[in-house]
């Protein structure tokens, strides 16, 4: 096909601005896309001007033609899209691109719009364009990589057209959603987009640092359609600062360096395109040789696994290996899972492994939910750890970025299942050196399986840059002669030019003082060339081994990281016994240490709570109410107590400590949840167990959880006057179910009378009042 | 339309943050003071402010404020009252960027104390952004009413849709969801009347519960 030939080996010229030029023909509030039907001649005329200027591809006027944006306009997606493509074809252009812009909604987790909702919006646009004669789909002006992913999947799953995708960046070289160029590139390449690049944003000159990243790493054709600089305004019009000559000069330079699909965005006109056409006609572009990298990403961050580096995969979120995670997942305690993630990140993990394999639990559903939850807080790439291909596919579909899949193995069945998923969505893949015959005994046999995995991946068009080989560490207690054999395999496998990964902790399974064995094994493995150890980042000895190795390996240049890290370590900490004072001062770490000491000296956990925590909190609370302390003081002490509680919880079950279970939620439609979160932490410090359903919670979810957890006290919050009706509805529905629970409400716009009028039992004007109410409710019940 | 994103001269003052946190000359220890400093610094590294505003001719009917030469209308008794003496209005939208939301979310997981302080930094900062825009407009010679935002009494929140459309707020990455809440969360939209009269006559809030303030 001539088009693909031009795209891959020649050049393609797009048109320039459409929407901004068409906007002049409609009044504010009317979408320029409706001109496709109301004034097709205006649209066709503009397309023709671009064709005359030399554009190979014209972009149909369909950018915002989605169901949500067209709602109330009187037009259907089908009518605007088909008219748009038809108009573009009438211009006589060689090729017509169906333009797909952002939905206009912010996707979860930062927003409230669901990934599948976005997918369905895009799908309607793609389906409407099928059979209209578009030659390609151009997904453009994307700020959110996650939204781009939804559009790409919708395009690829509902048409056979080539898919181009361009993102838009700000002056800080990130998109509005915080995505940088490399992260966009790595993710979009993984999703097999046919041409990748940048549009809109800034002027061509300001885009140099972004385009350079693309030129250096992008294996696909690069597409570039900048604005004519930033808009400048006078009282009547918008003017763009970059003239056609300046624009073309800069663009021609990019073309010379191998950016072969060019065009313009806001502020560019047929004149810009015509000059651009002339300028590039006689340029022979340099042949680009993109650098190969092994990289995983989240939606905003990429971890490139360099040859000279060691990268840590945190292993703590593992339902098979850790009872606490199993319990947390079974009871929907995702806060615990999140805190494990945050702790590992702070300890220096580069990637987090996530394993949710549980008996009696729908793994795909749990894994998907956990992945989404983790990505709402932590920006590290995740490693999807599952043996169930269905769970892997569901999780990778909703993942934002390019994850690691853990794992495939050398058996035909495993590779047939996993490679197509990895190819479709883009991922690094951990390849285990075992196959139908089990785990081989020798290093050479492991090498052979690694080679088989790499070759098979290649047949799926998966590059070995995306493969990490695991030579399999086995429990030395069971397979003592294997420990060294595994390590021998590492340098052998590395001759295949792939990175290696190893689950270090397996080695010490069943033995005492596991950390010693782990750290020695880790040291030897690193010296054999291991790139990616899977370890417990909260183990000091393990992380210190890695930090030390980074010095010896010449990775920690000038030993800066090492020195900074160890110069901060406090010399032998003296444990203060005045726990009360420590709480009043909000000294989190010292409170935790002191509680630990008290437990060691056999003080009973409940005595610590009754004799220290509660009285200290009461003092702080009273001082706060008298105005002697203010909110951050209160929170500081609460956090200190919480740190103490966590120590106690590790020696005692949560239910034995619990004064009662309270469900808290911010009601449907409201996303302001800081007040609820303040109340939550204070209630926790007084010994209540909190089921936190988060924000924007529908009444049905609240009812269901009240039933499942047998809740006696519900705390609802709403900040906006506009969401009070939702609070009322939630209370009514709870009452209609005849659930014997007390309801307290809080929020800036509420007061006592108002709370009563919507059916609440209590109004808490602040978090401390919430505690008094809780004490009262549970006293009555006990 | 005017838009911009450079606020080099907007800074946060520790005392301002303290006041907004409810500080009434309580004793502040060193650790607490350095925590506030650290949060201000973190906030300043995170914030990515942008704004856009535009001036429109308006026609007041009995029920609504019609934006001249387009099909859009602002509704609500409050906005009618607010603009009753005006022939033009300024529609403005400002956001601190999604990064602020994201850090706030993270801090709520790791330390509520820090989250509470960071949240106040955002509140103070967005207010300063709005004041900055107003000051710019005053420099241009406009006589103005105070800022009035959808969601306040008499100005239904549904007006967000019209406001964001009028200034094409998507250009600064500001959108609304199905419940008309702004995203990113730390964002403000407002309507300001441009008056021929002395602005001070129109400065008192007469339509909401803050009446007389």
Q: Say what the pLDDT of residue B200 is.
A: 46
CA distance A378 to chain B (A): 8
Size of interface A-B (CB pairs under 8 A): 135
d(CA A225, CA A141): 10
Partners of residue B86 on adjacent β-strands: B195
Using the Cβ of B209 and the Cβ atoms of chain A, whether some distance falls under 8 Å is answered with no
Contact at CB, B1 and A238, closer than 8 angstroms: yes
Using the Cβ of A496 and the Cβ atoms of chain B, whether some distance falls under 8 Å is answered with no
Task: For the domain made up of A570-653, give the CATH fold.
Answer: 1.10.1240
Arithmetic mean of pLDDT, A512-521: 96
> Taking CB atoms and an 8 Å cutoff, what residues of chain A touch B111?
639
> If contacts are CB pairs under 8 Å, which of residues 23-42 in chain B contact chain A?
23-24, 26, 29, 31-32, 35
Please name the member of B70, B98, B183 whose beta carbon is closest to the beta carbon of A27. Answer: B70
Task: Please write the tens of the pLDDT for every residue from B19-33.
Answer: 888 887 777 888 889
Task: Please write the tens of the pLDDT for every residue from A632-644.
Answer: 889 999 999 999 9
> If contacts are CB pairs under 8 Å, which of residues 60-99 in chain B contact chain A?
67, 69-72, 97-99
pLDDT bin (cut points 50, 70, 90) of residue A27 is confident
Partners of residue A114 on adjacent β-strands: none
Q: Provide the total of helices (H) and of strands (E) in chain B, helices listed first.
A: 6, 8
d(CA A270, CA A264): 9
> If contacts are CB pairs under 8 Å, which of residues 237-266 in chain A contact chain B?
238
User: Which of B123, B126, B87, B114 minimizes the C-alpha distance to B7?
Assistant: B126
User: Which of A72, A146, A83, A71 minimizes the C-alpha distance to A116?
Assistant: A146
> Taking CB atoms and an 8 Å cutoff, what residues of chain A touch B53?
none
Arithmetic mean of pLDDT, B178-199: 85
Contact at CB, A585 and B5, closer than 8 angstroms: no
Q: Is the pLDDT of residue A19 over 90?
A: no
Contact at CB, A629 and B26, closer than 8 angstroms: yes
pLDDT bin (cut points 50, 70, 90) of residue B211 is very low
CB atoms within 10 A of CB A170: 19
d(CA A161, CA A152): 11
Arithmetic mean of pLDDT, A587-613: 88
Phi, psi of A411 (to 5 degrees): -75, 150
SS3 content of chain B, % helix, strand, coil (to 5): 40, 25, 35
CATH of B2-196, one of 3.40.109.40, 3.40.1190.10, 3.90.1150.10, 3.40.50.150: 3.40.109.40
pLDDT bin (cut points 50, 70, 90) of residue A515 is very high
> Taking CB atoms and an 8 Å cutoff, what residues of chain A touch B170?
102, 104
Task: For the domain made up of A12-281, give the CATH fold.
Answer: TIM Barrel (3.20.20)
3-state class (DSSP) for residue B181: coil
Residues A318, A321, A323, A324: what is their CA dihedral angle, to the nearest 10 degrees? -40
> Taking CB atoms and an 8 Å cutoff, what residues of chain B touch A105?
175, 177
Percent of chain A with pLDDT over 90: 78
Please name the member of B70, B113, B173 whose beta carbon is closest to the beta carbon of A176. Answer: B173
pLDDT bin (cut points 50, 70, 90) of residue A1 is low
Using the Cβ of B175 and the Cβ atoms of chain A, whether some distance falls under 8 Å is answered with yes
Q: Are A562 and A582 in contact (CB under 8 A)?
A: no
Q: Say what the pLDDT of residue A58 is.
A: 97
CB atoms within 10 A of CB A488: 16
Vertex B107, ends B101 and B113: CA angle to 5°?
120
3-state class (DSSP) for residue A766: coil
CA distance B125 to chain A (A): 18
d(CA A130, CA A145): 24
Please name the member of B5, B26, B101 whose beta carbon is closest to the beta carbon of A630. Answer: B26
Domain A658-782 sits in which CATH superfamily? Cobalamin-binding domain (3.40.50.280)
Q: Would you give the end-to-end CA distance of chain A in angstroms?
A: 78
d(CA A422, CA A405): 8
CA distance B144 to chain A (A): 18
pLDDT bin (cut points 50, 70, 90) of residue B213 is very low
pLDDT bin (cut points 50, 70, 90) of residue B197 is very low
Q: Provide the total of helices (H) and of strands (E) in chain A, helices listed first.
A: 33, 25
Using the Cβ of B110 and the Cβ atoms of chain A, whether some distance falls under 8 Å is answered with yes
User: Which of A415, A420, A462 minimizes the C-alpha distance to A435?
Assistant: A415
The three-state DSSP-derived secondary structure of A345-395 is HHHCCCEEEEECCCCCCCHHHHHHHHHHHHHCCCCCCEEEECCCHHHHHHH
**Strand locations in A524-581, DSSP E?**
532-535
> Taking CB atoms and an 8 Å cutoff, what residues of chain A touch B112?
635, 638-639, 677-678, 681
CA distance A414 to chain B (A): 37
Q: How far is CA B23 from CA A266, A687, B199, in A?
A: 48, 28, 33
Using the Cβ of A591 and the Cβ atoms of chain B, whether some distance falls under 8 Å is answered with no
- DSSP letters spanning A638-691: HHHHHHHHHHHHTTS-HHHH-SEEEEEEEBTT----HHHHHHHHHHHHTTEEEE
Task: Please write the tens of the pLDDT for every residue from A335-375.
Answer: 889 999 999 999 999 999 999 998 778 999 999 999 999 99
Q: Say what the pLDDT of residue B5 is.
A: 47
Q: Using CA coordinates, name the residue in chain A closest to B101.
A: A110
CA distance A632 to chain B (A): 5
Dihedral sign from CA coordinates of B19, B21, B23, B27: negative
Using the Cβ of A72 and the Cβ atoms of chain B, whether some distance falls under 8 Å is answered with no
Least confident range of A170-184, A373-387, A646-660, B41-55 = A646-660
- DSSP letters spanning A595-650: HHHHHHTT--HHHHIIIIIHHHHHHHHHHHHTTSS-HHHHHHHHHHHHHHHHHHHT
Using the Cβ of B3 and the Cβ atoms of chain A, whether some distance falls under 8 Å is answered with yes
Q: Structure tokens of A468?
A: 């990490």
Q: Say what the pLDDT of residue B203 is.
A: 47
d(CA A452, CA A387): 19
Task: Say how far residue B119 (Cα) sits from the centre of its chain.
Answer: 15
Q: Is the pLDDT of residue A570 over 70?
A: no
Alpha-helix runs per DSSP H in A399-481 = 412-425, 443-459
ipTM for the predicted complex: 0.84
Sheet with A688-692: strands ordered across: A688-692, A660-666, A713-717, A742-746, A762-763
Q: Pick from A33, A106, A333 the residue to mutate for testing the B interface (most B CBs within 10 Å).
A: A106
Using the Cβ of A636 and the Cβ atoms of chain B, whether some distance falls under 8 Å is answered with yes
For the domain made up of A295-558, the CATH class stated in words is alpha beta
**Peptide bond just before A346 cis, omega within 30 deg:** no
d(CA A637, CA A585): 7
Q: Say what the pLDDT of residue B199 is.
A: 44
Domain-wise residue ranges, chain A: 12-281, 295-558, 570-653, 658-782
Using the Cβ of A104 and the Cβ atoms of chain B, whether some distance falls under 8 Å is answered with yes
Q: Please, what is the average pLDDT of chain A?
A: 93
Q: Say what the pLDDT of residue A233 is.
A: 64
> If contacts are CB pairs under 8 Å, which of residues 150-169 in chain B contact chain A?
151, 153, 157, 162, 165-166
> Taking CB atoms and an 8 Å cutoff, what residues of chain A touch B116?
631-632, 635, 674, 678
CA distance B40 to chain A (A): 14
Residues A207-236, buried b or exposed e (16+ Cβ, 10 A)?
beebbebbbbbbebbbbbbbbbbbbeeeee
Please name the member of A630, A639, A722 whose beta carbon is closest to the beta carbon of B112. Answer: A639
d(CA A629, CA B40): 21
> Taking CB atoms and an 8 Å cutoff, what residues of chain A touch B26?
627-630, 633
Q: Say what the pLDDT of residue A782 is.
A: 61
- DSSP state, residue A34: G
Using the Cβ of A178 and the Cβ atoms of chain B, whether some distance falls under 8 Å is answered with yes
Q: Are A501 and A469 in contact (CB under 8 A)?
A: yes
Arithmetic mean of pLDDT, A757-781: 91
Whether A295-558 and A570-653 share one fold: the answer is: no
Phi, psi of A324 (to 5 degrees): -60, -40
Q: Using CA coordinates, name the residue in chain B closest to A200.
A: B171
pLDDT bin (cut points 50, 70, 90) of residue B118 is very high
- DSSP letters spanning B97-138: -HHHHHHHHHHHHH-HHHHHHHHHHHHHHHHHHHHHHHHHHH
Phi, psi of A504 (to 5 degrees): -65, -40
Contact at CB, A677 and B22, closer than 8 angstroms: no
Q: Is the pLDDT of residue B8 over 60?
A: no
Task: Please write the tens of the pLDDT for every residue from A287-322.
Answer: 999 999 999 999 999 999 999 999 999 999 999 999
Q: Is the pLDDT of residue A703 over 50?
A: yes
Residues A327-350, buried b or exposed e (16+ Cβ, 10 A)?
ebbeebbbbbbbbbbeebbebebb
- DSSP state, residue A711: -
User: Which of A276, A268, A273, A283 minimizes the C-alpha distance to A52?
Assistant: A273
CA distance B16 to chain A (A): 14
Sort B146 into a burial class: Cβ within 10 Å, 0-12 / 13-18 / 19+: middle
Q: Is the pLDDT of residue B188 over 90?
A: yes
Arithmetic mean of pLDDT, A710-737: 92
CB atoms within 10 A of CB A403: 29
Vertex A352, ends A349 and A355: CA angle to 5°?
145
Q: Is the pLDDT of residue B212 over 80?
A: no
Q: Are A448 and A434 in contact (CB under 8 A)?
A: no
């Amino acid at each position: 096909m001539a088009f693909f030939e031009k795209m891959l080996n020649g050049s393609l010229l797009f048109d320039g601005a459409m929407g901004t030029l068409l906007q002049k023909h409609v009044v504010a509030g009317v979408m320029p896309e409706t001109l496709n039907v109301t004034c097709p001649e205006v649209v066709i005329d503009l397309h023709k001007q671009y064709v005359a200027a030399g554009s190979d591809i014209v972009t149909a006027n369909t950018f915002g033609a989605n169901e949500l944006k067209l709602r109330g306009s009187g037009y259907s997606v089908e009518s605007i899209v088909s008219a748009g493509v038809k108009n573009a074809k009438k211009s006589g252009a060689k090729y017509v691109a169906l333009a797909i812009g952002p939905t206009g909604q912010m996707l979860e987790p930062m927003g409230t719009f669901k990934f599948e909702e976005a997918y369905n919006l895009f799908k309607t646009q793609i389906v409407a364009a099928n059979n209209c004669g578009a030659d390609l789909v151009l997904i453009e002006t994307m700020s959110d990589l996650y939204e781009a992913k939804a559009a790409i999947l919708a395009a690829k799953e509902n048409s056979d057209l080539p898919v181009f995708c361009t993102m838009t960046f700000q002056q800080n070289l990130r998109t509005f959603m915080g995505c940088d160029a490399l992260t966009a590139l790595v993710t979009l390449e993984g999703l097999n987009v046919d041409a990748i690049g940048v549009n809109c944003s800034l002027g061509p000159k300001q885009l140099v640092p972004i385009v350079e990243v693309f030129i250096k790493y992008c294996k696909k054709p690069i597409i570039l359609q900048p604005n004519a600089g930033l808009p400048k305004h006078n009282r009547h019009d918008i003017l763009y600062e970059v003239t056609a000559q300046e624009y073309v000069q800069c663009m021609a330079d990019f073309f010379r360096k191998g950016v072969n699909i060019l065009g313009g965005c806001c502020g560019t006109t047929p004149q810009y395109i015509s000059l651009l056409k002339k300028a590039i006609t006689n340029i022979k572009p340099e042949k680009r040789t993109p650098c190969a990298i092994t990289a995983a990403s989240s939606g905003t961050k990429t971890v490139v696994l360099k040859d000279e580096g060691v990268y840590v995969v945190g292993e703590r979120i593992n339902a098979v290996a850790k009872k606490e995670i199993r319990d947390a997942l079974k009871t929907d305690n995702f806060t615990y899972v999140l805190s494990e993630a945050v702790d590992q990140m702070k300890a220096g993990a580069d990637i987090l492994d996530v394993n949710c394999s549980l008996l009696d639990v729908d793994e795909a559903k749990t894994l998907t939910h956990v992945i989404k939850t983790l990505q709402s807080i932590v920006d590290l790439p995740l490693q999807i750890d599952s043996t169930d291909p269905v769970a892997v596919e569901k999780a990778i579909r909703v993942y934002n970025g390019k994850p690691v899949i853990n794992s495939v193995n050398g058996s035909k069945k495993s590779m047939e299942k996993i490679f197509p998923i990895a190819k479709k969505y883009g991922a690094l893949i951990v390849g285990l050196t075992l196959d139908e015959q089990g785990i081989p005994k020798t290093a050479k046999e492991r090498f052979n399986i690694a080679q088989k995995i790499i070759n098979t991946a290649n047949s799926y068009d998966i590059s070995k840059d995306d493969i990490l080989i695991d030579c399999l560490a086995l429990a030395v207690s069971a397979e003592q002669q294997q420990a060294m054999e595994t390590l021998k395999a590492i340098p052998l496998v590395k001759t295949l030019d792939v990175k290696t990964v190893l689950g270090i902790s397996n080695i010490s399974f069943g033995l005492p003082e596991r950390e010693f064995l782990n750290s020695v094994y880790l040291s030897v493995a690193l010296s054999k060339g291991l790139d990616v150890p899977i370890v417990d980042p909260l183990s000091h000895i393990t992380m210190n081994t890695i930090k030390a190795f980074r010095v010896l390996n010449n990775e920690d240049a000038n030993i800066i990281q090492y020195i900074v890290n160890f110069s901060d370590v406090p010399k032998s900490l003296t444990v203060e016994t005045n726990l009360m004072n420590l709480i009043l001062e909000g000294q989190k770490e010292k409170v935790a240490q002191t509680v630990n000491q008290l437990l060691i000296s056999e003080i009973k956990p409940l005595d610590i709570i009754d004799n220290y925590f509660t009285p200290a909190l009461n003092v702080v609370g009273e001082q706060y109410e008298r105005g002697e302390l203010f909110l951050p003081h209160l929170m500081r002490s609460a956090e200190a107590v919480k740190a103490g509680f966590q120590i106690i919880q590790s020696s005692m079950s949560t239910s034995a400590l619990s004064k009662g279970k309270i469900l808290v939620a911010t009601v449907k439609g409201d996303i302001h949840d800081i007040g609820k979160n303040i109340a939550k932490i204070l209630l926790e410090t007084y010994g209540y167990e909190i089921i936190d359903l988060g924000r924007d919670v529908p009444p049905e979810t609240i009812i269901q959880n009240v039933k499942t957890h047998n809740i006696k006290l519900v705390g609802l919050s709403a900040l906006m006057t506009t969401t009070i009706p939702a609070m009322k509805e939630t209370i009514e529905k709870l009452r209609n179910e005849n659930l014997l629970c007390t309801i307290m409400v809080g929020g800036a716009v509420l007061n006592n009378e108002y709370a009563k009028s919507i059916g609440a039992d209590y109004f808490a004007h602040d978090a401390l009042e919430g505690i008094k109410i809780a004490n009262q409710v549970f006293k009555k019940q006990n | 339309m005017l838009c911009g994103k450079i606020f080099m001269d907007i800074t946060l003052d520790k005392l301002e943050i303290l006041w907004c946190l409810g500080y009434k000359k309580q004793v502040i220890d060193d650790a607490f003071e350095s925590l506030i400093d650290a949060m201000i610094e973190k906030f300043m590294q995170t914030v990515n402010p942008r704004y856009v505003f535009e001036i429109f001719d308006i026609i007041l009917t009995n029920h609504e404020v019609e934006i001249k030469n387009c099909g859009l209308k602002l509704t609500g008794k409050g906005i009618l009252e607010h603009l009753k003496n005006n022939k033009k209005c300024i529609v403005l939208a400002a956001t601190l960027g999604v990064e602020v939301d994201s850090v706030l979310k993270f801090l709520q997981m790791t330390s509520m104390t820090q989250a509470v302080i960071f949240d106040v930094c955002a509140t103070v900062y967005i207010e300063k952004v709005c004041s900055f825009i107003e000051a710019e407009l005053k420099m241009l010679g406009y006589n103005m009413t105070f800022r009035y935002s959808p969601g306040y009494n008499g100005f239904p929140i549904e007006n967000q849709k019209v406001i964001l459309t009028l200034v094409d707020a998507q250009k600064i990455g500001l959108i609304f969801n199905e419940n008309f809440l702004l995203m990113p969360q730390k964002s403000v939209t407002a309507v300001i009347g441009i008056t021929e009269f002395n602005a001070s006559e129109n400065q008192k809030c007469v339509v909401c519960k803050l009446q007389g303030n």
